[in-house]
């Protein structure tokens, strides 16, 4: 049996944890640059606040009902996510936990007898909430797809299910499948859902389960569609996966606080993003051979589509793989020169590192002085100081000092768990 533990309205739950007066009150969290709503409490949902809707459009409703609003606080969310996952690893062992996203994890419950699954799910939920303060829902079923389906129903009927649903019999599975619209199945996107309903009259998960694998292979994306149907039938096709320790591509992208026209501001931003990507690269003891830079221009016609703009990108292959920030910043800034057009407003930029190899495989250069070949020690020292002191105490001059282009986070809460000066105070 598989289970999935899903944090309820995770970002809102993180904010409420340190402001308990907001419990049972409407709360929303905004995306980067305070642009859109990316998390809503149940109370905010009932008021009609739309998910992924622009903040400025929801503002009248938010002000009318005194909804608490927060900018994204990824330092806080990341730390609390780690605490939730560590709790699950402590309860079940590392090999039985697969972190799926910042607020979800799959669990392998094959080690427990079938008649104990309800009690085990309850213990997991209660322990996680007691140790971390984050409320979670638990869905248990024979496959990952059915576990996601169970979790959805557990969250939808919280008062009845107490945020736990175990699908351990055919009768329970069939009833759950009948209650799940085809568009709410994990792995079925909007376009596939429309096609299934309009062309073949398939409206719920039970109807989709009853199609043949050949049908799924032909009309639902080949092997992926066939696996989905098998999972709905209770045949496991998506096994537990090991955590991806070393990434094959590393990217850092951000929206600007306000549209930027000055090339120097764009270069500062790209240099900053390159520094952050290089830190991630060194953290996994890797080096990159290819660096890509992109910029997104601000759209001119808001009446057509307010959230789209042209993306311009370019890349270069380095003479040798490296993880040194200074060796990555230089080609990144050269790429900005090829992308920038005077008079154009830009709203976003990003840096991507690829061609990643283990840094142990990169040879030193015999023809360079010894100090040059020891730059890794310098990078390690900078990383250690920045990690211990925070907020980029040591940085390259190319990243700027004022950083007027930084994204807006006007409603950001404190980093209660990761900064001494912002620790939560109890009086």
Report pLDDT digits (tens) over 41-65.
999 999 999 998 899 999 999 999 9
Please give the structure tokens belonging to residue 393: 């105490």
Instruction: Note the helical H segments in 251-369.
Output: 263-283, 325-339
Residues 6+ apart with CB under 8 A from 188: 182, 196, 208, 220, 228
Low-confidence ranges of the chain (pLDDT < 50): 302-306
Residue pair 312/331 in contact by the 8 Å Cβ criterion: no
Count of CB atoms situated within 10 Å of the CB of 263 = 16
Four-residue CA torsion sign, 17, 423, 272, 376: negative
Q: 130-183: per-residue pLDDT in tens? A: 999 999 999 999 999 999 999 999 998 888 889 999 999 999 999 999 999 999
pTM of the model: 0.82
Residue 303 confidence (pLDDT): 46
Candidates 1, 5, 4; CA nearest to 129 is 5
Query: Any idea of the CA torsion for 236, 238, 240, 241, to the nearest 10 degrees?
Result: 160
Distance CA 360, CA 122 (A): 46
Bridge partners, residue 294, by sequence: 313, 350
Walk me through the domains of the chain, giving residue ranges and CATH numbers: 1-179 (3.30.70.270), 182-243 (1.10.150.20), 250-399 (3.30.1490.100)
Residue pair 164/137 in contact by the 8 Å Cβ criterion: yes
Residue 368 confidence (pLDDT): 60
Beta strand pairing call for 164-166 and 250-260 = unpaired
Query: Any idea of the CA torsion for 70, 72, 78, 83, to the nearest 10 degrees?
Result: 10
Residue 363 confidence (pLDDT): 64
């Amino acid at each position: 049996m598989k289970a999935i533990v899903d944090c309820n309205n995770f970002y809102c739950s993180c904010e409420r944890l340190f402001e308990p007066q907001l419990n049972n009150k409407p709360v929303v969290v905004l995306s980067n640059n305070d642009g859109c709503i990316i998390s809503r409490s149940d109370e905010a949902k009932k008021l009609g606040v739309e998910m992924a809707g622009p903040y400025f459009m929801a503002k009248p409703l938010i002000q009318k009902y005194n909804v608490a609003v927060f900018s994204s606080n990824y330092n806080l969310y990341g730390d609390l996510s780690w605490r939730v996952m560590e709790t699950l690893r402590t309860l079940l062992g590392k090999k039985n936990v697969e972190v799926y996203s910042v607020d979800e994890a799959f669990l392998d419950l094959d080690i427990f007898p079938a008649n104990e699954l309800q009690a085990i799910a309850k213990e997991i939920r209660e322990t996680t909430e007691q140790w971390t303060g984050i409320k979670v829902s638990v869905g248990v079923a024979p496959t990952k797809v059915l576990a996601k389906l169970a979790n959805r129903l557990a969250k939808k009927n919280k008062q009845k299910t107490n945020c736990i649903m175990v699908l351990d019999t055919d009768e329970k599975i069939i009833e759950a499948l009948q209650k799940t619209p085809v568009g709410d199945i994990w792995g079925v996107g909007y376009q596939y859902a429309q096609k299934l309903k309009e062309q073949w009259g398939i409206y719920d998960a039970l109807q989709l389960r009853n199609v043949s694998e050949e049908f799924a292979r032909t009309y639902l994306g080949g092997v992926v569609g066939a696996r989905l149907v098998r999972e709905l039938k209770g045949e496991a096709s998506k096994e537990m996966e090991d955590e991806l320790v070393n990434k094959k591509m590393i990217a850092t992208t951000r929206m600007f606080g306000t549209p930027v026209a000055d090339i120097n501001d764009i270069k500062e931003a790209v240099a900053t993003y390159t520094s952050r990507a290089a830190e991630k690269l060194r953290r996994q003891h890797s080096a990159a051979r290819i660096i890509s830079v992109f910029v997104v221009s601000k759209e001119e016609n808001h009446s057509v589509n307010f959230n789209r703009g042209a993306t311009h990108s370019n890349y270069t292959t380095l003479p040798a793989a490296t993880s040194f920030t200074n060796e990555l910043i230089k080609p990144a800034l050269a790429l900005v020169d090829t992308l920038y057009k005077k008079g154009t407003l830009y709203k976003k930029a990003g840096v991507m590192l690829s061609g990643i190899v283990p840094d142990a495989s990169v040879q030193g250069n015999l023809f360079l002085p010894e100090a040059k070949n020891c730059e890794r020690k310098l990078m390690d020292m900078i990383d250690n100081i920045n990690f211990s002191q925070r907020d980029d105490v040591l940085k390259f001059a190319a990243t700027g000092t004022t950083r007027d282009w930084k994204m807006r986070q006007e409603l950001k809460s404190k980093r209660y768990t990761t900064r001494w000066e912002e620790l939560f105070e109890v009086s």
